[in-house]
Amino acid sequence: MRVIFRITEGPKLIIQQINFVGNYSVKPKDLLKVMKTKTSNLLSFLTKQGRLIPSQMEEDQEALRTFYQNRGFSDAQVTDVQTQPNPKKGVNLIITINEGIQYRVNRLTIEGMNIMSPATFLPQMKMQAGSLYTPDGLGADLKKIRDIYGSKGYVDMVVQPQISPASQSQVNLVYHIDEGIQSYINLIAVQGNTRTQDKVIRREMAVQPGGLYDSTLVDLSRTRLMNLNYFSKVDVVPQDTLVPGRKNLNVIVDEKKTGSFNFGAGYSTIDSLIGFAEMQQSNFDLLNWPNFTGGGQRFRTRVQYGIQRKDFTVSLTEPWFLGYKLSVGGELFYHEANFLSPVYNQSNLGGALQVRKPLTPFLAANAEYRPEQIRIFNVQSGVPANSPIQIDSNNSPYFKSALLGSLNWDKRDSLFLTRKGEQINLTAFGAGGGLGGNVQDYGLTLEAKKYFPLPWDMVFELKGAVASVNSWGNGSKGVGTPPIFDELYLGGANDLRGFFFRNVGPVDSNNNPIGGNSSAYGTAEITFPILPRIRGAVFTDWGFVNPASYDYSFSQMCGDVGIGARLDLPIGPVRIDWGYPVQSQSYNKSNGQFNFNVGYQF
């Protein structure tokens, strides 16, 4: 017996308009923001937007109901969804909403609270008398109560909300609390770690055996373990013991692969075309032969080879040196750069020893010793003999032995698409003297970024930096100014985007950039959503580089304005900018500059 199914698919429903009926309290544009279903547009052939998908529409109905409930409309419902032919093509989507009544809190009380006065605690609640009654507000208040009790060891506390009508549009809210008893940690057991050593997990725990069972610190411990990126899942489960007020803590992890080998190619307007291969292990153990995993160290080796640069790097970092929260790492490198200047090449061969210490959750101190050999070579024949480029090439190779220190403040809400917060870096270096070598200079740099969230998911960013370098003693090989590899430059994708790379600052008699001893720049930029994974940008950049140290006069000021796009693609984030100079100097006039980069900017 054979059964044949004959299917007539019919045309795809392409949405041209989405209209709402009954939305008396909310603007249509606010409702559209919470929906996955969108209207068709010019890029729909790529994004697949504009298709009517029943399962997605069901999710949208629930999202609309949740949106209304969190505006106080607890009874809101999507009562009907219909399609109507569009006069031109496709369909219009008609969504009918019954908003219901908007509810507010009439009276809020807490019963059963003995560890502190309810009168003291009530002002901390999100929902107060007169506030909108919302599921988000209820959830936030319940979490607040649980966190307060959990931080004091009352992990068995139970809170039950009771909602009763006070009038047609008001409710009374009572939180009934059964506190239970205070609990302490008996022991901590680790399970599921077949590769990762116990100590790597235990050192991330913010609680210890014998201490108070602080549930907020237990949650922090789980977050720390997940942030290691060693585990696909982490469960931290309390277990009762025979002793009242004593609990065991079971940490159950599900390990995942932590090693990777990547290769590929990239392009930017600075580096041009480049290929790379990288091998890294984020859970490395130098002493665990032959597996070399499980110790929580970070190992990385990377090779980059392209038209404008060649890089070879190998590094190893121990994030808990001798059992202390002190990161110690080492690096060996060779860098050869042709993109720094059209008239010479530069190479750096050396190593680095780095130490990093977190001081607070947002502040860290760093120190680094960096010995390296630096060469200036392949200088073009037309470079003047008195140019610093020619002088430094004749003096090559240099041996630079430098000590660097920095303080880093980072309170951004995300490293990838930052919407609020700030980042501040203060860096100083000194080379030569008792450290050895024939480069004798020092420098100081202050960088800052500040992000402000704006309506409609726009973000306003202010960014700037000031820096200065200077020679000391007899200078580097008797030259009274820092070598060109330590001078300061502006221009290009990372600062003044309307100018060619490193083309803002002092030049020699042939207009070749030679850098200066003082620099400052500032950027103002607004990004805004265009489509999912695509954001637009408008910006202005202003800055200068002056020859003398600590000279911040504006006589050499340069500035630009521009537009850009930010694309979140599978290959990584793509940043495209076009800047146009509105103030320039005689040596760096241009008709605008296009900048293209793949990768995150930290």
140 and 217, same domain (yes or no): no
Tell which wins on pLDDT, 311 or 571.
311
Q: pLDDT tens for residues 99-127?
A: 999 999 999 999 999 888 888 888 889 99
Strand partners, 253: 234
The pLDDT value recorded for residue 298 is 96
Q: Considering only CA atoms, which of 232, 236, 227 is closest in space to residue 254?
A: 232
**Per the domain annotation, does 467 fall within a domain?**
yes
- Per-residue confidence at 328, pLDDT binned at 50, 70, 90? very high
Cβ-contact 368, 404 below 8 angstroms: yes
Tell which wins on pLDDT, 115 or 333.
333
User: How many CA atoms lie within 13 Å of 353's alpha carbon, on the beta-carbon side?
Assistant: 5
Amino acid identity for residue 296 in this structure: G
CA distance 395 to 386: 13
Tell which wins on pLDDT, 40 or 425.
425
**Per the domain annotation, does 314 fall within a domain?**
no
CA dihedral 54, 60, 64, 67 (to 10 degrees): 160
Cβ-contact 266, 258 below 8 angstroms: no
The DSSP element (H or E) to which 57 belongs, if any, is helix 54-69
Choosing from 213, 229, 255, the residue where a domain stops is: 255
Q: pLDDT tens for residues 495-535?
A: 999 999 999 999 999 999 999 999 999 999 999 999 888 99
Query: What pTM does this model have?
Result: 0.78
Lowest mean pLDDT among 116-120, 236-240, 286-290, 332-336: 116-120
351 and 411, same domain (yes or no): yes
β-pair type (15-21, 91-98): parallel
Cβ-contact 198, 258 below 8 angstroms: no
Q: How many domains does the chain have?
A: 4
pLDDT (mean) for 451-461: 94
pLDDT at residue 224 greater than cutoff 50 = yes
pLDDT at residue 600 greater than cutoff 60 = no
Q: pLDDT tens for residues 401-419?
A: 999 999 999 999 887 789 9
The pLDDT value recorded for residue 3 is 80
533 and 550, same domain (yes or no): yes
390 and 482, same domain (yes or no): yes
40 and 136, same domain (yes or no): no
83 and 145, same domain (yes or no): no
Residue 456: exposure state from Cβ atoms within 10 A (0-12, 13-18, ≥19) = exposed
CATH number (domain holding residue 353): 2.40.160.50
352 and 423, same domain (yes or no): yes
384 and 359, same domain (yes or no): yes
- The CA angle 240-244-248, to the nearest 5 degrees, is 35
- If you average pLDDT over every residue of the chain, what do you get? 92
Q: What percent of the chain has pLDDT over 90?
A: 78
The pLDDT value recorded for residue 121 is 84
**Per the domain annotation, does 364 fall within a domain?**
yes
Q: Considering only CA atoms, which of 512, 429, 519, 517 is closest in space to residue 480?
A: 517
Q: pLDDT tens for residues 340-360?
A: 999 999 999 999 999 999 999
pLDDT at residue 43 greater than cutoff 70 = no
Q: pLDDT tens for residues 284-316?
A: 999 988 889 999 999 999 999 988 899 999 999
393 and 244, same domain (yes or no): no
Tell which wins on pLDDT, 476 or 455.
455
pLDDT at residue 250 greater than cutoff 50 = yes
112 and 174, same domain (yes or no): yes
Q: Considering only CA atoms, which of 312, 303, 353, 316 is closest in space to residue 335?
A: 312
39 and 125, same domain (yes or no): no
**Per the domain annotation, does 316 fall within a domain?**
no
Choosing from 52, 68, 98, the residue where a domain stops is: 98
403 and 374, same domain (yes or no): yes
Question: In 203-344, which ranges are continuous DSSP H helix?
Answer: 215-227
The DSSP element (H or E) to which 106 belongs, if any, is strand 104-111
The pLDDT value recorded for residue 88 is 78
**Per the domain annotation, does 190 fall within a domain?**
yes
The DSSP element (H or E) to which 565 belongs, if any, is strand 558-569
Domain span at 591 = 340-598
pLDDT (mean) for 469-484: 83
pLDDT (mean) for 16-22: 93
**Per the domain annotation, does 61 fall within a domain?**
yes
CATH number (domain holding residue 38): 3.10.20.310
**Per the domain annotation, does 272 fall within a domain?**
no
Lowest mean pLDDT among 260-269, 374-383, 541-550: 260-269
The pLDDT value recorded for residue 89 is 83
Choosing from 236, 255, 274, the residue where a domain stops is: 255
For residue 258, give both structure tokens: 């932590």
Q: Considering only CA atoms, which of 225, 134, 148 is closest in space to residue 188?
A: 225
pLDDT (mean) for 488-496: 94
Per DSSP, 434 falls in state: G
Per DSSP, 497 falls in state: T
**Per the domain annotation, does 276 fall within a domain?**
no
CA distance 486 to 402: 12
Q: pLDDT tens for residues 371-388?
A: 999 999 999 988 999 999
- Per-residue confidence at 602, pLDDT binned at 50, 70, 90? very low
- Per-residue confidence at 11, pLDDT binned at 50, 70, 90? low
- CA-CA distances (angstroms) from residue 426 to 112, 130, 144, 364, 365? 51, 47, 37, 11, 10
- CA-CA distances (angstroms) from residue 180 to 125, 151, 154, 183, 212? 22, 14, 7, 9, 15
Per DSSP, 132 falls in state: B
CA distance 477 to 463: 36
- Residue 480: left if φ>0, alpha if ψ -120 to 50, beta else—which one? alpha
